[in-house]
Structure 1
Amino acid sequence: SYQCMQCARLFISRAMASTTTARSPSLIGVCQMTNSNDMEANWKAAQGFIDRAAERKCKMLFFPECFDFVGVQKEDQITMAFDESDAFLTRFREAARQNGLWMSLGGFHNKDASGSLPWNSHIVIDADGETRARYDKLHLFDLEIPGKVRLMESEFSKAGKEMVRPVSTPIGNLGLSICYDLRFPELSIWNRKAGAHILSFPSGFTLTTGLAHWESLLRARAIETQCYVVAAAQTGVHNPKRSSYGHAMVVDPWGAVIGQCSERVGMCFAEIDIEYLEGIRKTQPVFDHRRSDLYTLHVNERREIGDSPLPFGKFPIPPSHVFYRSAHSYAFVNLKPVLEGHVLVSPSTPVDRLTDLSDEQTADLFCLAKKVQKMLEAQHGVDSSTICVQDGPQSGQTIKHVHIHILPRRNGDFGGSTDTVYAELAKHDRDDRPPRTAEQMNEEAARYRKIMNQ
């Protein structure tokens, strides 16, 4: 209601009045380019933006998708691709060092050494010119309407496979996306839940979609996540086949446009004020009001295994025995397997019973179990598995930490008595068999880890 809106504005104003001296806002520069397939000319344009950002003492500079080049032919996107060690990117790294400037390089044609199609990669480099994060575009725009239109991004680029958590920068935690990703709000919501203060959408929107949706989508992502949204853009006519909408933009967490370019090559500047953002989140705590008992956002996210042991009841699991880690779960090899390939999947925080898991943890646990089952069946050449949870002492559970047993099954297991597996599971950690050596477990985990990370 109008009254609620007025109250929210009053609360935010008061919060700002009491906190603005605590942390200074950070100035950013946002670039708008009309790139072609002439990479030298594109670099010269970028140089000018870098100089202007340095003069204004920006902490970070944002470049658009295709900051390297916009090809004329479809084949250009493949034949002109290069990798992260290329001299073109080295120029940006050197400029970052010389000017003490962080940069968001919003999408380059990243050559795959295997010879397959390139990725569309967004990288963040720090003031030393080092890569701090890399995100490969997840959503590719494929459209084919016979007799009308055909635009298949998947014919010259391949989709990324990994969620990338927000990267810590001098202006705040930055969530990475590219162009078409803007239309998928789940990615932005996940970034917010993962700690993002700013969402970046370097883009090359077409004229038609830009006129209809560009500002609306950017403001929607800002409002629903309560994040700053930064969208560097391509603009104008790149070649006879390609034109872009422009209107590079910065939107604040309240949905206000605080910086925008028109349709010309140029820059806009804006301040990122984390204190202001925190004030909005405090007075409009919408993420605290989400109904996780009714709906969740499940993400297949791979996490680094790390160097620290992971909890499993009273028995910490060394990282060398772990072969995969997701957002809430991990998979590890077994000290005393009942059958060859018998492994365990468990929550990465101590939880006694299956019913104690949140819906988000439950979804993550069983999705990881499914992924591990698929890998094991392929690795061991079988088409059957036993998936088992012993939940509570009367079920045979001896370690008070939820875990799923996954066992690849073969003809003739237990002399052909298939269900003997349950009796064996009930006693397997208390029988007289010697436990496996650390070396044996390390070797098995390393083998599975290599497969799972491909």
Structure 2
Amino acid sequence: MRFRTLSVLKRITEIQGKRHINTMGNKRIAVCQMTSVADKVANLNVVSQLIRDAVKENVQVIFFPEACDFICDNKQDTLNSAESILTGNTVKKYRELAAEHNVWLSMGGVHEKNENDPKKLFNTHIIINNNGDIVQTYRKIHLFDVEIPERNIRLKESDFCTPGNQIVAPVDSPIGRIGLAICYDMRFPELSTALSIMGAEIITYPSAFTYATGSAHWHVLLRSRAIENQCYVVAAAQTGDHNAKRRSYGRGLCVDPWGEVLADCGESAPSFAIAEITDKIANVRRNMPVFQHRRPDVYSLYTLSLRNTLPQEHSHQVTPPENRTQHTTSGPANAFGHVKVPESCVFYKTGLTYAFVNIRCVIPGHVLVAPIRVVERNKDLTDDEADDFYRTVRLVQNLMERVHETQSCTITIQDGPDAGQTVRHLHCHIMPRKKGDFIENDLIYLELAKHDQVKPGHPAKPVRNLEEMEQEAAMLREELKKMTNDS
């Protein structure tokens, strides 16, 4: 099997079937192209050889296309071949290859087994670092569904795939901040704009574009995403005939922030192209500062579902099932709407108000203050209750800033269901803040809005175990005594 390296930098020379660039020190990437088939072992051998050849070109990140694990010709074989991200053999091999060759890998859209629905899977983009660790994952949010009965065309990804429900914050890598997307996502500029606003310098679109749509739109769409966001776009691609039913367009690309194509794999496979990521992004953004010219007073792009960390189901740090439900207690408890707060989780209490640790935290130190009497709205407090409630809020804020060594707090009340209140008992969230704890400062309100919601598209934050909460409450009681004595 012969692997061809393509490059379109300043000087191109062809030597023994590979094109080399005599430059060192810059951020270098390889954009891969392949023709996946139903045989996972054969595809893995192609991936392995591409990695072995690409690392000889001193690259730091290698990008692979959507469906790099396999492409079957029917739904049932596709479902049967899907694997878990954590326990599947295919991703395990990818991780071993990354560590063995000391290179980062973008595995752009593997078929992830859906543990909750045997009739569906996820299309998941995985970023693996040079130690073999999974540092981030993204589940494709836009599914390719096309049905044209008069032309006997029916391509519906939703028949076997469950869409993701979160944009993923850009990933820090040796070549810059990488924004994750997959194939059909490139037709939705809202996603790429959101990623660029969050600081993405490279946006990825690993793809298996159909031949008909690719020949019409592939270069146009990818160059547009690069130009409008003034960032690099990397799109590894499937190419050629996978089976009797499916053909992909190919032409894996790297486009620079000015819209110039730096690398194009053509139609050959397996192959890869080398490109360099330079400081051109800074020059383009300085010379044409479109981000400064945006008009948020007229229009805005507000990301409603954003994830900054690796999801639990893709991390070995998984909360045990017995800790994912509301805690019960046989000891003294306090009413908090429809639930009970164990007395052991309360760290401050007066005759009218109490403060307690949180079962689900948006950030470390996220605690709550509530009136002892069950009242739903701020307006329902008596004057005495209101005085005591806000004195307690101030006291607890001082305590949390002291304990967490901060000089800032987010203090907020979701007063009523239209404001995001889910527990019908007035309560104040107190969250000690540190610089950089959120990509954009106000994103904390989005996380707060969905941190305890359990419904499709809004998975709840994991609950903490009772022992952990009791330990935090005991610590806060001791720190409160110290603070009181110091004053």
Residue 162 of structure 1 and its aligned partner are, at CA, apart by 1.5
Query: Does the 8 A contact of 1:303 with 1:325 survive in 2?
Result: no
**Equivalent residue in structure 2 for 1:128, among 120, 126, 131:** 131
Q: Distance in 2 between matches of 1:338 and 1:232?
A: 59
Match of 1:309?
A: none
Query: Does the 8 A contact of 1:166 with 1:195 survive in 2?
Result: yes
1:235-272 deviations in whole A, cap 9, x for unaligned? Answer: 00000000000000000001000000111101111001
1:116-151 deviations in whole A, cap 9, x for unaligned? Answer: 421100000000100010000000122334444322
Residue 27 of structure 1 and its aligned partner are, at CA, apart by 0.9
Match of 2:163?
A: 159
Query: Does the 8 A contact of 1:108 with 1:120 survive in 2?
Result: yes
Q: Distance in 2 between matches of 1:331 and 1:302?
A: 19
**In structure 1, what residue type is equivalent to 2:74?**
Q
Match of 2:17?
A: none
Q: Could you list the runs of 5+ residues in structure 2 that have no partner in the other structure? A: 1-23, 310-354, 379-406, 429-444, 450-468, 474-487
Match of 2:62?
A: 61
Q: CA RMSD in A?
A: 3.8
Q: Distance in 2 between matches of 1:322 and 1:281?
A: 44
Q: Could you list the runs of 5+ residues in structure 1 that have no partner in the other structure? A: 1-22, 306-317, 344-348, 355-364, 378-384, 389-402, 407-437, 443-454
Q: Distance in 2 between matches of 1:79 and 1:95?
A: 24
Q: Distance in 2 between matches of 1:165 and 1:371?
A: 25
Residue identity over aligned pairs, in percent, reads 39
SS in 1 for 2:371: coil
**In structure 2, what residue type is equivalent to 1:73?**
N
Matched, 1:139 2:142: yes
Alignment of 1:50-89 (within 5 A): 50-84=51-85, 85-89=87-91
Matched, 1:183 2:184: no
Describe the shift of the 1:300–1:294 C-alpha distance in structure 2 as closer, same or farther (beyond 3 A): same
**In structure 1, what residue type is equivalent to 2:173?**
T
Describe the shift of the 1:296–1:93 C-alpha distance in structure 2 as closer, same or farther (beyond 3 A): same
1:387-417 deviations in whole A, cap 9, x for unaligned? Answer: 99xxxxxxxxxxxxxx9xx9xxxxxxxxxxx
**In structure 2, what residue type is equivalent to 1:267?**
F
**Equivalent residue in structure 1 for 2:197, among 180, 193, 210:** 193
Paired residue total: 339
Residue 325 of structure 1 and its aligned partner are, at CA, apart by 4.6
Query: Does the 8 A contact of 1:333 with 1:342 survive in 2?
Result: no
Query: Does the 8 A contact of 2:136 with 2:171 survive in 1?
Result: yes
Alignment of 1:437-448 (within 5 A): none
Matched, 1:336 2:371: yes
Query: Does the 8 A contact of 1:322 with 1:333 survive in 2?
Result: no
Describe the shift of the 1:325–1:221 C-alpha distance in structure 2 as closer, same or farther (beyond 3 A): farther
**Equivalent residue in structure 2 for 1:321, among 334, 337, 358:** 358
Match of 1:399?
A: none
Alignment of 1:114-125 (within 5 A): 114-116=116-118, 117-125=120-128
SS in 1 for 2:168: coil
Matched, 1:105 2:142: no
Match of 2:10?
A: none
Name the stretch that deviates more: 114-123 or 241-250. Answer: 114-123
Q: Please, what TM-score do these two structures have when normalized by structure 2?
A: 0.62
Residue 172 of structure 1 and its aligned partner are, at CA, apart by 0.3
1:52-93 deviations in whole A, cap 9, x for unaligned? Answer: 111111101000000000011122221110011212222221
Q: Distance in 2 between matches of 1:297 and 1:319?
A: 36
Match of 2:248?
A: 244
Name the stretch that deviates more: 92-101 or 121-130. Answer: 92-101
**Equivalent residue in structure 1 for 2:272, among 267, 273, 281:** 267
Residue 284 of structure 1 and its aligned partner are, at CA, apart by 1.0
**Equivalent residue in structure 2 for 1:205, among 198, 206, 209:** 209
Query: Does the 8 A contact of 2:356 with 2:369 survive in 1?
Result: no
**In structure 1, what residue type is equivalent to 2:83?**
F
Q: Distance in 2 between matches of 1:81 and 1:166?
A: 26
SS in 2 for 1:208: helix
Q: Please, what TM-score do these two structures have when normalized by structure 1?
A: 0.67
SS in 2 for 1:239: coil
SS in 2 for 1:75: helix
Match of 2:226?
A: 222
Residue 376 of structure 1 and its aligned partner are, at CA, apart by 4.7
**Equivalent residue in structure 2 for 1:291, among 265, 271, 295:** 295
Q: Distance in 1 between matches of 2:418 and 2:78?
A: 36
SS in 2 for 1:335: strand
Residue 304 of structure 1 and its aligned partner are, at CA, apart by 6.5
Query: Does the 8 A contact of 1:323 with 1:332 survive in 2?
Result: no
Residue 335 of structure 1 and its aligned partner are, at CA, apart by 2.4
Q: Distance in 1 between matches of 2:377 and 2:266?
A: 61
Q: Distance in 2 between matches of 1:303 and 1:87?
A: 26
